[in-house]
């Protein structure tokens, strides 16, 4: 089943004391690229989180946001630097003794630098929430995948429509190619007749030989056959359950190359117009395939 690379998944867990919220977003990307925005105590979980997400998603640029509320496990602690406090008090008493004056307000020490420091929770304390976080990440990944799959169904229908449009144009080219040879023979015969006039007959053997040379140089049967083969392979890939975006992109490059060859060999204004039309449809197909995982 085709999957898009665009989607959003959100999940929450609440055990009565702690709430874990996970948001996972994805957009187009050639490879798998995951960026994290998680509380510092859980940075050690990055590899485990990535492993969970990779079981559901193979391609795309993903952004992960984890918020945790209400947990004492990850709450920071405030520590007092008593050695620094003693130094401040000692200095304050020295100033008071030297300069005189009344009682000194010791509460002013609270605003001085270095008295307090904030210590974030360590990984050991955070491990208590590890199972809950990984379960929430997995649920968000499933919901993201469901959305990408729903988007993929719409993509598949659009891609099938575009492939059918290209196939119709390729069939038209098939039927048009023999007319090019007949048109060239008729034009060559007329040009030779006009040049020789009525006094000398046309060498039919030589004329047919020239037509055969032209037909050989302008033959595009192989390219058209490969175009049909590429179209059939694309249709098969649209029904695969595995990621096929990169394979589709390769086949589209090959189709574009075949049409360039047909345009250069066709040597006919009608073929050139058809090639431009087909390449326009291929470009639309290519743009849409960039959304496929």
* Residue linked to tokens 């007329």: 190
Identify whether residues 184 and 164 lie together within a single domain: yes
Same structural domain for residues 218 and 277? Answer: yes
Q: Which domain holds residue 239?
A: 153-289
Please check whether residue 128 lies inside any domain of the structure: yes
Whether 221 and 133 map to the same domain: the answer is no
The predicted pLDDT at position 43 comes to 87
Q: pTM of the entire structure?
A: 0.70
Whether residue 193 is found in the same domain as residue 279: yes
Residues in the chain, pLDDT under 70 = 71-77, 100-104, 118-125, 179-219, 266-267
Tell me the pLDDT tens digit for each residue of 189-198: 555 555 555 5
Do 169 and 258 lie in one domain? The reply is yes
**Burial class of residue 63 in the structure, from the number of CB atoms within 10 Å of its CB (0-12 exposed, 13-18 middle, 19+ buried):** middle
CA atoms of 172 and 157, how far apart (whole Å): 23
- In a domain, residue 256? The reply is yes
Contact 5, 292 (CB under 8 A): yes
Residues 211 and 244 in one domain: yes
**Residues 251, 284 share a domain:** yes
| 238 and 216, same domain (yes or no) | yes
Quote the number of domains for the chain: 3
Let me know whether 269 and 194 are in one domain. Answer: yes
User: Are 141 and 184 part of one and the same domain?
Assistant: no
Judge whether 1 lies within some domain.
no
The answer to whether 111 touches 117, Cβ cutoff 8 Å, is no
Kindly state whether residue 2 falls inside one of the protein's structural domains: no
* pLDDT for position 265: 73
Residue 143 is assigned to a structural domain of this protein: yes
| 47 CA to centre of own chain | 22
């Amino acid at each position: 089943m085709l999957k898009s690379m665009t989607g959003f998944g959100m999940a929450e867990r609440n055990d009565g004391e702690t709430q874990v919220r996970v948001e996972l977003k994805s957009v187009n990307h050639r490879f798998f690229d995951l960026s994290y925005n998680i509380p510092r105590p859980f940075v050690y979980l990055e590899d485990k989180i990535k492993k969970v997400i990779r079981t559901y998603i193979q391609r795309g640029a993903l952004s992960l946001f984890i918020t945790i509320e209400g947990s004492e496990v990850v709450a920071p602690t405030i520590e007092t630097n008593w050695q620094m406090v003693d130094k401040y008090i000692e200095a304050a008493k020295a100033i008071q003794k030297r300069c005189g004056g009344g009682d000194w307000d010791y509460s002013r020490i609270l605003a001085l630098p270095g008295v307090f420091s904030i210590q974030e929770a360590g990984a050991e304390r955070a491990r208590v929430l590890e199972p809950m976080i990984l379960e929430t990440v997995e649920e968000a990944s499933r919901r993201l995948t469901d959305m990408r799959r729903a988007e993929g169904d719409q993509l598949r229908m659009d891609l099938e429509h575009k492939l059918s449009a290209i196939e119709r144009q390729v069939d038209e080219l098939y039927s048009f190619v023999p007319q090019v040879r007949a048109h060239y023979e008729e034009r060559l015969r007329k040009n030779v007749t006009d040049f020789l006039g009525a006094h000398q007959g046309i060498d039919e053997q030589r004329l047919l030989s020239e037509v055969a040379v032209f037909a050989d140089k302008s033959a595009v049967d192989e390219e058209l056959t490969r175009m049909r083969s590429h179209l059939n392979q694309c249709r098969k890939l649209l029904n695969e359950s595995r990621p096929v975006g990169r394979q589709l992109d390769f086949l589209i490059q090959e189709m574009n190359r075949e049409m360039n060859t047909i345009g250069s060999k066709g040597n006919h204004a009608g073929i050139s117009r058809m090639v431009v039309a087909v390449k326009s449809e291929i470009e639309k197909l290519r743009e849409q395939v960039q959304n496929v995982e």
